[in-house]
């Protein structure tokens, strides 16, 4: 069963010329779940190899505008296309109040929308996996989400099954499914006689916006992939603490303590290009990547190599591919240590959003 994340928007607070606002698509087999829907998310989907699919579910982490403002437009587009399939939107408490205001924007829809408010500790049972909502530290009602597969059966011992008299065919499948079977000539064979120890499923944890938090450390313990915000570099640690965001080093320290297999840093302030965030984090936790828009992380089973970054994996052939740094850091890093945002971005009054000028907070700040 394939499992991957497509990064549609990796910028924090405001978009840049090369980074859209928060949006991540989780795909598991034929299932599709969108986590956050910042402004322009539907266009990012259209620009990607995924396309604007009939998403069945959206998970919002919190209600700062850069995480949900793309949702009204996408809902309206679905209606204009004549969609009839229901859509479920999940979010922390306050979701119904939010939609009470948004409905004036998108109007009447052609399909039903179910709103599900999830509180800390709520679990959605999906059979082979579960979705766990957990509280993060961002000063408002804000959820992180853990997508955790159940353990898989152990490896099937073909020779042991044959030695016990099990004929090849449907009985093999039933044993692999954990059943006890009757064999020709009488007698039973239990699954534990031909299966090895259970193998772990995969766990992906997406935090949304948060300061480093004990709740994330607990939920992300030994996760295959932790997607954590890194709005600031350590030089702006005081600003990160004021706004309840994380620095790259702070997120990396949490990933190291949680023993995750890979850390992916997103929600970068436009002060940064990406390589300086990657360098800072890797000094603490080497298995760190900083995805750019249209990158994919394939979350493979441990025995198949674990998570792997595929640079520009969702970028269509018609999209121009910009220079890339190593390990998904983005850009070539030249001149980026001082920040300043992506090349071609507007000056924003010379004061990048979320950055401070010699101790004075930037107007608006990071959200």
| 125 catalytic residue (yes or no) | no
Residue 4: alpha-carbon gap to chain centroid: 9
Catalytic residue among 2, 4, 36, 66: 66
Residue 70: alpha-carbon gap to chain centroid: 17
Cβ-based burial of 209 (10 A; exposed 0-12, middle 13-18, buried ≥19): buried
C-beta of residue 286 within 8 angstroms of C-beta of residue 260:
no
**Cβ-based neighbours of 111, under 8 Å, separated by 6 or more:** 78, 79, 83, 84, 85, 86, 87
Torsion of CA 26, 28, 29, 32, to 10 degrees: -40
13 vs 192, 210, 232, 300, 366, CA distance in Å? 52, 13, 12, 31, 6
Q: Torsions phi, psi of 175, nearest 5?
A: -65, -40
The secondary structure of 78-112 as a DSSP string is HHHTT--S-EEEEESTTHHHHHHHHHHHH---SS-
Q: What gap in Å lies between CA 247 and CA 241, rounded to an integer?
A: 9
262 vs 87, 152, 285, 293, 326, CA distance in Å? 31, 21, 9, 18, 15
Element (H, E) at 162: helix 158-163
Cβ-based burial of 125 (10 A; exposed 0-12, middle 13-18, buried ≥19): exposed
Q: Torsions phi, psi of 233, nearest 5?
A: -90, 170
Residue (of 351, 297, 238, 330) closest to 2 by Cα position = 297
Residues involved in catalysis:
66
């Amino acid at each position: 069963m394939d499992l991957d994340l497509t990064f549609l928007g990796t910028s924090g607070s405001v978009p840049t010329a090369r980074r859209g606002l928060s949006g991540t698509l989780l795909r598991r087999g034929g299932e599709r779940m969108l986590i956050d829907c910042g402004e322009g998310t539907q266009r990012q989907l259209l620009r990607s190899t995924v396309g604007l699919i009939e998403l069945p579910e959206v998970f919002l982490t919190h209600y700062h505008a850069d995480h949900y403002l793309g949702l009204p437009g996408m809902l309206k587009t679905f209606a204009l296309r004549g969609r009839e399939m229901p859509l479920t939107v999940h979010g922390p408490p306050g979701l119904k109040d939010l939609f009470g205001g948004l409905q004036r924007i998108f109007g009447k829809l052609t399909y039903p929308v179910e709103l599900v408010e999830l509180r800390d500790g709520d679990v959605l049972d999906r059979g082979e996996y579960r979705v766990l909502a957990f509280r993060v530290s961002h000063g408002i009602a804000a959820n992180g989400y853990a997508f955790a597969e159940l353990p898989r059966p152990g490896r099937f011992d073909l020779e042991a099954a044959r030695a016990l008299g099990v004929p090849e065919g449907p009985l093999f499948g039933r044993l692999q499914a954990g059943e006890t079977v009757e064999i020709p000539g009488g007698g039973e064979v239990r699954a534990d006689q031909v299966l090895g120890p259970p193998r772990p499923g995969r766990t992906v944890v997406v935090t949304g916006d948060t300061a480093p938090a004990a709740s994330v450390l607990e939920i992300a313990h030994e996760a295959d992939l932790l997607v954590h915000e890194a709005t600031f570099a350590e030089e702006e640690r005081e600003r990160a603490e004021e706004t309840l965001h994380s620095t790259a080093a702070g997120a990396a320290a949490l990933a190291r303590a949680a023993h995750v297999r890979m850390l992916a840093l997103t929600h970068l302030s436009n002060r940064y290009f990406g390589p300086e965030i990657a360098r800072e984090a890797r000094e603490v936790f080497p298995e760190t990547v900083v995805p750019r828009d249209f990158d994919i992380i394939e979350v493979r089973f441990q025995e198949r190599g674990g998570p792997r970054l595929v640079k520009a994996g969702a970028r269509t052939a018609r999209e121009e591919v910009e220079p890339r740094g190593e390990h998904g850091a983005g850009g070539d890093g030249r001149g980026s240590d001082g920040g300043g945002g992506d090349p071609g971005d507007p000056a924003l009054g010379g004061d990048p959003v979320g950055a401070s000028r010699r101790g004075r907070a930037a107007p608006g700040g990071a959200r």
